[in-house]
Amino acid sequence: MIDERASVDPGAEIAPDAEVGPFTVIGPGVRLGPGCWVGPHAVIEGNTWLGEGVQVFQFASVGAPPQDQKYQGRATRLEVGDRTIIRESATLHRGTEGDRGVTRVGSDCLVMAYVHVAHDCQVGDHVVLSNAVTLAGHVEVEEHAVIGGMSAIHQFCRVGPHAFVGGASAVSMDVPPYASVAGNRARFYGLNSVGLERAQFPPTTVDALKRAFKVLFRQGYTRDTALAEVASAPEAEVPEVQRVLDFLRSSERGVVR
């Protein structure tokens, strides 16, 4: 159902069962999937594709051009996965031609009020971005990560899967998978034990990660020595430990320690 007071461009593709509230603006190139709900006073524009069951609350701005002075107005897009919730006054921008050309937010995410997802960000499934989180351009946040309120992530940083970033943090380096970090600048505090317990990781996996983290972050080894030590240990057979090793090896900005 589209409220008669909404402004919907004829070029938009709206699923028959999607709902659009009063005074909302839907521009050309927008696609609303089945079961989408858009509240009042939201703006969705550009080549923006929302998956099934996405909810967009009042005053959100979804799919606006990127805040990048190099952007020349070329056709880029924003993609949002199924069942993701975008709360009040959040801003999600399209990609730029200088990078992937697409900003992606995965399925089953919670994007809380006043969050900013900048151009070319890649956000995985089941991610929580708490109130007023700011992701600069080109940031990657992997699945099940949780970022606390009012935190800022520097451009080109990565946040690994199941990582936790404490509130009001400033992150300027990569956050390892399964880690807990916080502060300005963010510091490593250990394994995200609470998050792993909630996600029902088996105790054997959690124990292997604890042993690996002790070598990687607590014993004062150089990066290469620590990686070699863990890679040769029995823990390296655990897929989650291997994922940590791969993440650290591929880091270009350095890792929060």
Among candidate residues 91, 94, 27, the one with its CA nearest the CA of residue 65: 94
What CATH number should be reported for the domain whose range is 7-138? 2.160.10.10
Catalytic residue among 99, 120, 126, 195: 120
Q: Residue 109: CA atoms inside 13 Å, Cβ hemisphere, count? A: 30
pLDDT of residue 12: 98
pLDDT of residue 245: 98
Q: Do domains 7-138 and 197-250 have the same CATH topology?
A: no
Among candidate residues 161, 224, 216, 218, the one with its CA nearest the CA of residue 192: 161
Label residue 255 by pLDDT band (50, 70, 90): very high
Residues in the chain: 257
pLDDT of residue 60: 99
pLDDT of residue 220: 85
CA 184 to chain centre: 20
Decide if pLDDT at 231 tops 90.
yes
Among candidate residues 35, 48, 40, 43, the one with its CA nearest the CA of residue 20: 40
CB 87 within 8 A of CB 60: yes
pTM over 0.75: yes
Q: Which residues contact 53 (CB under 8 A, 6 or more apart)?
A: 33, 34, 35, 36, 37, 82, 83
What is the CATH T-level fold of the domain 197-250, as seen in this structure? Udp N-acetylglucosamine O-acyltransferase; Domain 2 (1.20.1180)
Tens of pLDDT, residues 51-110: 999 999 999 999 999 999 999 999 999 999 999 999 999 999 999 998 989 999 999 999
Residue ranges covered by each domain of the chain: 7-138, 197-250
CA 220 to chain centre: 31
Q: List alpha helices for the chain, DSSP H.
A: 193-198, 203-213, 223-231, 239-250
Tens of pLDDT, residues 111-163: 999 999 999 999 999 999 999 999 999 999 999 999 999 999 999 999 999 99
Catalytic residue among 21, 51, 137, 160: 137
List the strands of the sheet with 19-20, edge to edge. 19-20, 37-38, 55-56, 85-86, 110-111, 128-129, 146-147, 164-165, 179-183, 186-191
Q: What percent of the chain has pLDDT over 70?
A: 100
pLDDT of residue 126: 98
**Residue range 20-44: average pLDDT?**
98
pLDDT of residue 219: 86
pLDDT of residue 26: 98
Q: Residue 46: CA atoms inside 13 Å, Cβ hemisphere, count? A: 23
Residue 81 catalytic? no
Residue 126 catalytic? no
Residue 120 catalytic? yes
pLDDT of residue 225: 96
Catalytic residue among 93, 119, 138, 144: 119
